[in-house]
A and B are shown apart, each in its own frame.
Chain A
């Protein structure tokens, strides 16, 4: 009974964390882009003249979206047209289940893993769910029954499918180094030290793999340097025929993808919840000192470290989105097939050779 309750609480917490952060990512994106461009950004939404640097903006947006007309064109395939946004939303939402937020939390006799579901194919699960969300893109383009959305959907599918290959291949090297697909094990492996002082994070063992994964993952989130499927500024993309909340769902899914990519980058390459030299009983510094801490504080440190790393990568992705112009379509395909995939194959071979030495 208590076990089920704990699982439910974990699910609710993880989902709240995911959705609220995704909601505030819209705010962060506006503010960060504004600061980068010497502006101030959205700061007018207020409650009784209380502006709080625009923190109410996401709610104002949500209210606006609720009251917009939800228009379904008569020529669309109604059922699939309605289903598609929920498909892509759902498949991105479930990926949060396998992300480890921290190590085990001991409450009395009970050990609670700070992770909703620790399945032994966690990494594959995330990759699979992210590829499933492509169906939302293709179906929305097809169900709208308009040529432009169909082209947008197909373009999106082609991009996502080709970057999926690089995404998968770039992780093979990592799986060879840390022989596990379980995300919690991956994070545990990254807690070990190299030469006695360097944390054994994925980026140190797999720098090339990290760069390929970064490119492919940013391409997966369909944001500006790779935003050919939607092309929100001029070309017409797959969600042209959507309006109101269903359009909002697509937009929201985009931000959730940013967040899940940040989580993946953190978990796979930046040690997840690991803080350098922090062990279950406190800090043990390589120069000999130690600072022992109670269990609760250690767990708090871990969760905080995970969150900070995720925030950093969200910040980084927004930076990328507001720095680079969009790729031309053939350049995008060139980058995927002629640069990233050969590089990731090279990475696999190099890793294998280095490991067998």
Chain B
């Protein structure tokens, strides 16, 4: 009984907190409704498709393959990224390049984004700086899984 009365005061304290949030936020919502400038918005959330938060500089977004000056991919098929990838979602196949300085170029390079966990290890591993995750593209959803398997054309775009 005594314990219950102790809880009762806590109940009142809790409801005072939520009521304070309600009243303060309603005050700012009302100010906005009448187009009066206020020091903050009524909500802390961002209305996503219309408003966007700026993506941080080091955010790991969709991959891209870098190119040489002549437009060929920089990748030399050392397989380091495919080896380090924890999700095993990179598949690279080599072909011989006529240039003796280059020797190998990727004939296929696919990243299965349905499995990728965006850890960024592939970027860290690459000795040629051939793969980067700086496109700032984060809306990668598709209607079918096949569309999420990115091949060489899509990656060098």
Interface-facing stretch out of B38-46, B71-79, B97-105 = B38-46
Q: Convert B6-25 into 0s and 1s, putting 1 for each residue whose CB lies closer than 8 angstroms to a CB of A.
A: 00000100110111011001
Query: Can you list 6 A-B pairs with a CB-CB distance of less than 8 A?
Result: A34-B43, A35-B22, A38-B43, A39-B44, A319-B18, A339-B4
List, in ascending order, chain B residues with CB within 8 A of A319's CB.
15, 18-19, 22
Give the CA-CA distance A40 to B50 in the complex, in Å. 14
A38 and B45 in contact (CB under 8 A), knowing A319-B19, A338-B1?
Answer: yes
CB of B132 within 8 Å of the partner chain = no
Report how far A35 CA is from B19 CA in the complex, Å. 10
**In residues 38-68 of chain A, which contact B (Cβ within 8 Å)?**
38-40
- Complex interface residues of chain B between 22 and 56 (CB less than 8 A to chain A): 22, 25-26, 29, 42-45, 47
Given A324-B11, A339-B4, A32 contacting B22 (CB threshold 8 A): yes
* Contacting residues, chain B, for A125 (C-beta < 8 A): none
Taking CB atoms, residues of chain A closer than 8 Å to B26 are: 35
- Identify the B interface with A (CB < 8 A): 1, 4, 11, 14-15, 17-19, 21-22, 25-26, 29, 42-45, 47
Q: Which residues of B contact A40 (CB under 8 A)?
A: 42-43, 45, 47
A323 B15 Cβ-Cβ under 8 A = yes
The docked-state distance in angstroms from the alpha carbon of A175 to that of B125 is 80
Complex contact B15–A38 (CB within 8 A): no
* In-complex Cβ contact of A339 among B1, B15, B43 (8 A): B1
Q: Is the CB of A38 within 8 A of B1?
A: no
> A36 near B43 (CB under 8 angstroms)?
no
C-alpha gap A34/B45 in the complex (Å): 10
Closest residue of chain B to A37 (Cβ to Cβ) is B21
A contact residues around B43 at 8 Å (CB): 34-35, 38-40
A165 within 8 A of B: no
Contact A322/B45 with A35-B25, A35-B26, A339-B4 known, Cβ cut-off 8 Å: no
| Cα–Cα distance between A35 and B23 once the two chains are bound (Å) | 9
User: Per a CB cutoff under 8 Å, which of A35, A39, A335 touches B4?
Assistant: A335
Taking CB atoms, residues of chain B closer than 8 Å to A37 are 21
- Chain B: minimal CB distance from A19 (Å): 26
Main secondary structure of the interface of B (DSSP, over half): helix
Contact assessment for B29 and A35 in the assembled complex, using a CB-CB cutoff below 8 Å? yes
Q: Report the separation of the CA atoms of residues A324 and B4 in the bound assembly, to the nearest whole angstrom.
A: 15
Q: Is A320 positioned at the interface, with any CB of B under 8 Å from its CB?
A: yes
CA separation between A66 and B104, bound complex, in Å? 61
Contacts of A38 in B (CB 8 A): 21, 25, 43-45
B20 and chain A: residue at smallest CB distance: A36
Closest Cβ of chain A: how far from B31's Cβ, in Å?
14
Question: Shortest CB–CB separation between residue A144 and chain B, in angstroms?
Answer: 34
Given A39-B44, A40-B42, 13 extra CB contacts under 8 A? A35-B26, A35-B29, A35-B42, A35-B43, A38-B43, A38-B45, A40-B43, A40-B45, A320-B15, A322-B18, A323-B15, A324-B14, A334-B4
What is the bound-complex CA distance between A35 and B26, given in angstroms? 7
CA distance A323 to B20 in the complex (A): 12
Q: What is the CA–CA distance of A259 and B14 in the complex, to the nearest angstrom?
A: 23
Bound complex: CA A334 to CA B44 (Å): 39
B59 to chain A, nearest CB (A): 24
Q: How far is the CA of A32 from the CA of B18 in the complex (A)?
A: 10
Which 10 pairs, one residue from A and one from B, show the smallest C-beta to C-beta distance? A323-B18, A38-B44, A40-B43, A35-B25, A339-B4, A36-B22, A36-B18, A36-B21, A39-B45, A323-B14
